[in-house]
Structure 1
């Protein structure tokens, strides 16, 4: 009984924070008064309070309050009693490190399985897969495990980029990195491009947004998934 929005990014080029998603979120969080925000990913190293303030300003446009989980004494209880939850982007390793530190993963999974509305962007989307082995982030900290929520049977590669024709960049492309991953791992990977998201109702996953997504399966050629279709893996 899941109700989730899993977005590649919080901000698309030329738009304000969450602006492109607000019409969707207004429906997704219908009848919600307060969203519990998990700021542990700390993009750019900003404070939890500063990050929560940015989120609160965005949600005020759809008349929803925001309170950071760090403001409570017992975050485990807060997760179980939340009306709705948003986990923002930043560094996925630090996000997962803090979730393990506060022993929140199990309670978060139970809450999402009960159908409490959830929004994840970037790092907050990465944690919904099997593990975080397909994040683009630097491992600035070492979490106890790479295993995460397992809300679906694949991993997300957020901010997926196609190889740029004519580029002089000599580093590996995202596609090459994911192929490397599949030498050692069987988990499917969904390359989710900027401005696209997954809408999950119960166990039905629909690709939404402007762009196709790129699905990688071990020992198979990648497949383009069209927006608006059900993602079946």
Structure 2
């Protein structure tokens, strides 16, 4: 597979995808026809226009899958696919409804370059169970695309002991996940991304990331870390996928 999984699409003080634009341009085929999946936000046209403005100066032709009467046919005509961020539950529900869940999964497994940001990065994991999002809709299943065998938590935030807000930290929530499920979780901080090519996976961007595994303290991973070992994970969830 050929994946670029971004924690975020917008970095503070920068334009859309600007913090990763060189990496994105190198990842996408030259003059690629890109199928953009905008379903994580309600304004599909506005979202697609934002992606066009960011990528078309690099020679990428952006086509929103919603602009076609047949989103799967639009995907089939593309040379790469990008699933943008927003609400992961709304996104996955739309992927099921349009038939794109199976179509994108199969195309990516067969080598179509897949780029995700935030919710689109969540889609690459086996399930939605480590999403930060509120379930504003109920998809048929939490099962996502399963392009990688481990979970990802985009926008990972570190605990702040001096914070007066005493709600659960992200670390506590991921620890709770591991109490019920035995599968690694990669916490991607802002500005970082995971690059997967065939049987290799490497951490890129600002880094570092944080890796959570059952029974072990969280592990700090500097930018450039080789995470290929995670691709051989055998995830064990608390109930079988549907």
Q: TM-score, normalised by structure 1?
A: 0.95
- The number of equivalent residue pairs is 229
CA RMSD of aligned residues (A): 1.1
Deviation at 1:14, TM superposition (A): 0.8
Q: What is the CA–CA distance in structure 2 between the aligned matches of 1:40 and 1:212, rounded to whole Å?
A: 29
Question: What's the offset of the Cα at 1:212?
Answer: 1.1
Other-structure match for 1:223: 219
Task: Name the stretch that deviates more: 172-181 or 218-227.
Answer: 218-227
Match of residue 29 from structure 2: 30
Q: Does 1:19 align with 2:18?
A: yes
Structure 1 residues without counterparts, runs of 5 or longer: none
- Separation (CA, whole Å) in 1 of partners of 2:7 and 2:139: 22
Q: Is there any run of 5+ residues in structure 2 with no aligned partner, and where?
A: 231-242
The answer (yes or no) to whether the contact 1:32–1:83 under 8 Å persists in 2 is no
Residue 80 of structure 1 and its aligned partner are, at CA, apart by 2.9
Deviations 1:122-165 (A, max 9, x none): 00000100101100000000000001111111111000000124
Greater shift, 113-122 or 140-149, is seen at 113-122
Match of 1:191?
187
Counterpart among 121, 140, 143 of residue 139 in structure 2: 143
- 1:7 equivalent in alignment to 2:6: yes
Q: What does 1:1-233 align with in structure 2 at a 5 Å threshold?
A: 2-42=1-41, 45=42, 47-231=43-227, 232-233=229-230
Q: Is the 8 A contact 2:20 2:205 kept in 1?
A: no
Identify which range, 22-31 or 133-142, moves more after superposition.
Answer: 22-31
Q: TM-score, normalised by structure 2?
A: 0.92
Separation in structure 1 between the aligned mates of residue 29 and residue 173 of structure 2, nearest angstrom: 39
Q: Assess if the C-alpha contact under 8 Å between 2:207 and 2:221 holds in 1.
A: no
Inter-partner Cα distance in structure 2 for 1:118 and 1:128: 9
Contact conserved, 2:3 with 2:115, CA < 8 A, in 1? yes
Q: Report the CA distance between 1:92 and its aligned residue.
A: 0.1
Distance in 2 (alpha carbons) for counterparts of 1:66 and 1:79: 11
Q: How many Å separate the matches in 2 of 1:77 and 1:64?
A: 19
